[in-house]
Amino acid sequence: MKNILSYSSALVVLFLGIALGACSSTTPPPDPTNKFAIKGKVKATTTENVSGVTVAVPSKSVTTDATGAYAITDLDNGSYVVTPTKASMTFTPATQTVAVNGADTTISDFVAKTIPTYEVPEMVAVEPGTFMMGLQEGQRGGGSFAKPSHQVTLTKAFWVSKYEVTQKQYESVMGTNPTINKGPNKPVANMTIFDHVAYCNRLSELEGLTKAYTVTGPTITWDREANGYRLPTSAEWEYCARAGTSDNTYVGICDAKDPNALMDGIAWYRSNSMDAAGDIQSHDVGLKTPNPWGLYDVLGNVSEICFETPLPYSDTPKLDPWDGCTITDMDARGGNYSGTSSDCLVSVRFGADATRLSGTNGLGMRLVRNR
């Protein structure tokens, strides 16, 4: 009897072992190596350095290699938001959402772009309109060279810079500052016309705009339809300087006496431009009262070059006038810090040989751009 019981017990143990073995073969334990990766690449827009970009999901991050490639590994199945970051760069798209589902996943490229480190002059919108250009009868400012007063209509809207281009703005684009009277917020000066044009074209390139000028040896050609930065025509300059007014300044009639209380409030000219050392020089932009369109220093501080030769006026009405440009004789408007009050009036014009540096210490620029 004892042997029969022992045999039965052994059978029970055997069958129990078989049953447990069968259960374990159908439900294996979790595999800790069942992890996946998100792979991708960061590309440059132009010449950006795409190595060292941090690419992150909420749980971890990696950096790109020299080619911009990366792989975020050891991820469970699930949804992840992938975000690239690097100082002084933006990325398109800014993020990507991706699902990991049982396999490694390769996502679309991120495109890196360097955040601009250059400064763009603040621009003011100007609408088309009609005004009387030139010296009005009974006013001072330019003599016979500024007569006769004549009707001008500008048919196209444009942008104009709120301030004269500063040394800081110029240097941020060109890498140099040619101005003798240094100061980051003072107007840039001491340039030839080729320097002015090079700045306009370079800023246009940086902003992705069509360049306004083509330089071929000593010849500068203006593309009047281009949307890039440029110098104003003489009519555009005076339209902006007057800002809807008709006197010889935008705050009333200047009697051209020096010193001049009216001029003191709106312009830097000879009588108020002396510094503590006794030198007459330019000043930071934007310190005087602006004109009705919010433009500063259109009179005084530095003269502003126009891309036009100052030919005699006629009394015939004009439509979008431009008399062409001879670079050895270019229109300089608004007067400057070394001039008298009568030099700093809206109708005054001076001819300047812009191919030479001589006499350009007081000659700067204000930008315009087609809208």
pLDDT in tens, 106-132: 999 999 998 878 999 999 999 999 999
Q: What is the mean pLDDT of residues 244-273?
A: 97
- At residue 359 the predicted structure's pLDDT band, cuts being 50, 70 and 90, is confident
pLDDT above 50: residue 6: no
Q: How confident is the model over 95-103, as a mean pLDDT?
A: 96
Q: Residue 216: CA atoms inside 13 Å, Cβ hemisphere, count?
A: 3
pLDDT of residue 31 exceeding 70: no
In this prediction, residues 92-100 reach a mean pLDDT of 97
How far is the CA of 188 from the CAs of 14, 192, 286, in angstroms? 99, 12, 14
Q: What is the pLDDT of residue 158?
A: 98
Query: Per-domain residue ranges for the chain?
Result: 36-114, 123-370
Please check whether residue 360 is in contact with residue 192, taking contact to mean a CB–CB distance below 8 angstroms.
Answer: yes
Tell me the CA end-to-end span of the chain in Å, nearest whole number: 111
User: Tens digits of per-residue pLDDT, 267-312?
Assistant: 999 999 998 888 999 999 999 999 999 999 999 999 999 999 999 9
| For residue 264, pLDDT beyond 60 | yes
Share of the chain above pLDDT 90, in %: 84
* The residue to which tokens 């690419």 are assigned: 55
CATH topology of domain 123-370: paralog of FGE (formylglycine-generating enzyme) (3.90.1580)
Cβ distance 225 to 362 under 8 Å? Answer: no
CB 266 within 8 A of CB 251: yes
pLDDT for position 78: 95
State the DSSP H helix or E strand holding residue 240, giving kind and residue range, or none if neither: helix 234-242
Tell me: pLDDT of 20 over 80: no
**CA–CA–CA angle 294, 300, 305 (5° rounding):** 85
User: CA Rg, the chain, in Å?
Assistant: 36
Question: What pLDDT score was predicted for residue 16?
Answer: 42
* Degrees, nearest 5: CA angle 333-258-162: 35
Surface-to-core class of residue 150, CB atoms within 10 Å of its CB (0-12 exposed, 13-18 middle, 19+ buried)? middle
- pLDDT of 25 strictly over 50: no
Q: How many CB atoms lie within 10 A of CB 120?
A: 15
Which one, of 261, 220, 268, 232, lies nearest residue 133 by Cα?
A: 232
Residue 19 vs residue 160, higher pLDDT: 160
Does residue 4 register a pLDDT over 60? no
How much is the pLDDT for 33? 62
Is 50 exceeded by the pLDDT of residue 249? yes
pLDDT number for residue 88? 86
Pick 275 or 68 by higher pLDDT.
Answer: 68
Name the band, by pLDDT with cuts 50, 70 and 90, for residue 13: very low
Backbone angles phi, psi at 277, to 5 degrees: -85, 0
- Chain center to CA of 316: 38
Report DSSP state, residue 228.
S
Position 245 pLDDT exceeds 50: yes
pLDDT band of 8, cuts 50, 70, 90:
very low
| Weakest-pLDDT range from 85-89, 245-249, 274-278, 363-367 | 274-278
Residue 46 predicted with pLDDT over 50: yes
pLDDT exceeds 70 at position 10: no
Report helix angle 167-174 to 193-206, nearest 10: 70
Q: The tokens of 100 are what?
A: 């990991």
Cα-based torsion angle of the residue sequence 168, 364, 280, 357 in order, rounded to the nearest 10 degrees: 100
What separation in angstroms does the CA of 25 have from each of 20, 28, 31?
Answer: 9, 6, 14
pLDDT of res. 19: 44
The whole-number pLDDT of residue 334 equals: 97
Contact 80, 40 (CB under 8 A): no
221-251 b/e with 16+ CB inside 10 Å = b? ebeeebbbbbbbbbbbbbbbbbbebebbbbe
CATH 3.30.70.1520 fits 36-114, yes or no: no
Residue 358 CB neighbours (<10 A): 8
What DSSP designation does 143 have? G
Whether 165 shows a pLDDT value over 60: the answer reads yes
Q: Establish how many alpha carbons lie within 13 A of residue 135's alpha carbon, considering only the half-sphere containing its beta carbon.
A: 21
Residues pairing with 159 in the sheet: 125, 369
E strand or H helix that includes residue 169: helix 167-174
Q: Identify the DSSP state of 311.
A: P
Whether the CB-CB separation of 71 and 84 falls below 8 Å is answered with no
Percent of the chain with pLDDT over 70: 91
pLDDT at 361 over 70: yes
**Looking at residue 21, what is its pLDDT?**
47
pLDDT at 286: 98
